[in-house]
Structure formats: C-alpha cells, structure tokens
Amino acid sequence: MAEKFEDLKYPVVVIIGGGFAGLELAKKLSRKPFKVYLLDRHNYHTFQPLLYQVATGGLGSDAIAYPLRKVIGPMPNVSFRMAEVQRMDTDNKKVITDVGDFAYDYLVLATGTKTNYFGNSALQNLTMPLKTIPEALDIRSYFLQEFEKALVEQSLSTQEAALNFVIVGAGPTGVELAGAMAEIRKNVMPNDYRELDPSRMHIHLIEAGNRVLATMSEKSSRDAQKFLEDIGVEIMLNTMVTGYDGKELKLKDQESILAETVIWSAGVMGNLPEGLPASFVQRGNRIKVDEFGQVPGLDGVFAIGDIAAMISEKHPNGYPMLGSVAIQQGPWLGENLIRLANNQPLRKFVYKDKGSMATVGRNRAVVDLPFIHLKGIIAWYIWMFVHLMLLVSFRNRVIVFVNWAWNYLSYERAIRLIIRPYKKKDLNGE
C-alpha cells in the first residue's frame, strides 16, 4: 500500500506560487523522493497572457484558469494548500501563513509579479490593473457599464469621459488590450449600442518610452504601432502620467484627458513576501539569486520565475519577466533539487530564448523568432498556436479554440455580461 502524504519521510519542499514556475517545478518533483507543499492564495492556475481577452469579453474566466488540485491530484507526494503567505522565517526554516506554519528543508519562491504604480497612491487606488482574473472581470464589467452610462448621459463632457478608454503602458498587455478594445468599437458598438456613435469612443495608449513593445525588436515595434494606428488607437509616446482623480488623467507637458476608465499596465515589480532583509532585494523588487537559483546566504532558499533576478553579464538586471523563462526554470530547479539530494553537482541555468510575440487584433500580430521577424496573418496564426499549446489542460485548449473560432466567424465578443457591477474606489482606496 502506498504511503499517505502525511507519513512521507522525505525532505520537505515548500513552493510559494502556483504560476508557470511553481507548477512546472511541482510536476518535475512528482513521484520523486520529496514531500512537496504548493502554496497559493488562489486555488487555480491563471494563464496570464490571455487575461486581456477575459477583460474584453472574448473568453470566460474558466477558459484560462485551471484548478491546481486537478493538476497535482495524481501526484502522490505533492499537496496543495490555499494559503496567504504572511511572512518567511528563514532563520527557523518555516513559512507562516493564514492556515498554519510550514517547516521546510527547501523553500522555493515562485511568487511572480504585481503591478508597479511607482509610489503614486492615486494611480494605485483609481486606475484598474490587469494581473488577475478578478481584475479582468472588473475591467469587463466597468467598460460595459460605461457604454450603458453613455447611452443615458445628457452631459457631453460626462459622456466623453465615459467613452474615453485609456491604457497606460505599451508593453504586450497594453498593446493587446488596445487592439481588442478597437475591435469592440468596430464590431460590437454598431450592433449592441446603435444609439452611440462609435467614432466618439476613443482608445488612448500612453507610453513613457519612445516606442511600443520596447522589449521586442524595433521592426516589431514599428509594425505593431502601424497596426494600432490603422485600427484607430491613439498612441502617445514619450508621455508621462503625473496624476489622476478618477475623472481627469493628468499628463506631463500634454493636455489632460477626461476618462473614467484608465487601465494601468505601465509596469510590474516582484511580488515579494515579507521576511527577507532588504539586502537580498534587487531592482524591481526581485530577489537576487546565483546561477543555480539559490539565494546567497540563506540555507535552502531558492527563487525562480519573475521574482528571481539571476544576474549575469548579459542580463545585469536578471532575466526578463517572461513566461518562457519561468517555464524553463521550473523543471531545471526540480532537476537540481534531485541532484542536491543525491550529492551531485548542480547545473547552471541556461535560458533558451525561443522568441517573443504580441497580437494586435484580428489577423494582426508580430513575432520575433531567433532567426526571423514575422508580421500579419502568419504571425497571428503562430501566436494563436503557441498560446493554445501553453494552456495547462486539453479542456482549456478546446474552450479557447472554440471561442476564438466563434469570435472570428461572427465578429463578436460573446461574453458581454455585467455579472457583478464594478464600483470604482475613491482616492483613499475605499
């Protein structure tokens, strides 16, 4: 008879975070001589690259989420706990959570990122982030509420504010979200909101840098900007946001924009649990690790994925915060933990850059591969295929594929439901 999880006498590995890195690590350690706890504040894994499609009604939340227990159920030596980590006690090698303490032999931080507001509390309280499924559902509800409001609003200035949609940050999330909103203006508004003039809906994409998709090639930046301009997105480069009061977005050296919907995708920072001294934290609130993923000076503590800053000559600020890095580091660290338990030398992490991509709506995408740059419909097909294959389960792939096919054939975004009306916070975040 197989041993019960509670009776296993193996070294204990505590993984904080059920994203790409944490989940891939748990898979690698499945049926290996370790007792593994996977901790996450949600009971599901989120496929973050498609959050913008949930926010714009193209996909339901169940299409990009999958229960963590469903994934680890067949793993006899892995157990999941839905827990909020309060702090780490590295001196006594335990993690303190709201459901109890977890002693460990090896601790792996895979906590990912959170939205970076650069210390501006007004932006934090009044703009809308897009990092989680609840936040995506809030955005979906709110922009639909704004359409309904514009229909009955008599004041032209208030109607203008309701139909101005501002996205701050022109990385992949901002670009893809802007493209999806432009498709809503073109294909949804004329049918569902016939009393509104689609030309009165404005989509502003604001970027502090000098180009969109700054982490991709200059060719991709130029092509993506051209795609966005062709579908009517108003791009503002070299533009800094200085403040927001819930109605008026203030810009440095530019006229303010009246807008009730401001989506903040201008930056991320490491989602760092409490308990590490400041000396371990690098630029971007990330944890400095060596080439083996270990946190120098802390016994048995590792970090992988977006939270880890693995410094090298080529990457002085650590590897980029990309899902591909996390997906590669999870199995690699699992193999190193196995080697560590067997007193074998550890292997350094070597990132294999397989390229990057972004979509700008129907038949429009840009793809940077190590050997070629692609744009247009071919890039769009590649983008769809890669994202389908990266989804956790076959069920998710089927749901997403069916939704994409329907949206493509019908020119609709079918999930336009205000399930839970969103109420904006005030300046105090209440």
pLDDT tens digits, 328-371: 999 999 999 999 999 999 999 999 988 999 999 999 999 999 88
Cα(218)–Cα(231) distance, rounded to whole angstroms? 20
Average pLDDT over residues 251-279: 92
Q: Which of 354, 173, 181 is nearest to 268 (CA)?
A: 173
Domains within the chain, CATH numbers bracketed: 5-41+83-115+269-341 (3.50.50.60), 121-266+362-410 (3.50.50.100)
- Quote the CA–CA distance of 162 and 198 in Å, as a whole number: 13
pLDDT in tens, 193-205: 999 999 999 999 9
pLDDT at residue 17 in the model? 96
* Per-residue pLDDT at 50 exceeds 90: yes
Residue-level pLDDT at 414: 66
**How high is the pLDDT of residue 1?**
44
Question: Would you give the DSSP letter of residue 278?
Answer: G
In the chain, the largest separation of any two C-alpha atoms, in whole Å, equals 74
Average pLDDT of the chain to the nearest whole number = 92
pLDDT at residue 307 tops 60: yes
Residue 134, C-beta contacts closer than 8 angstroms, at least 6 positions apart = none
For residue 368, report the phi and psi dihedrals to the nearest 5 degrees. Answer: -110, 110
pLDDT at 8 over 60: yes
Active site residue ranges: 176
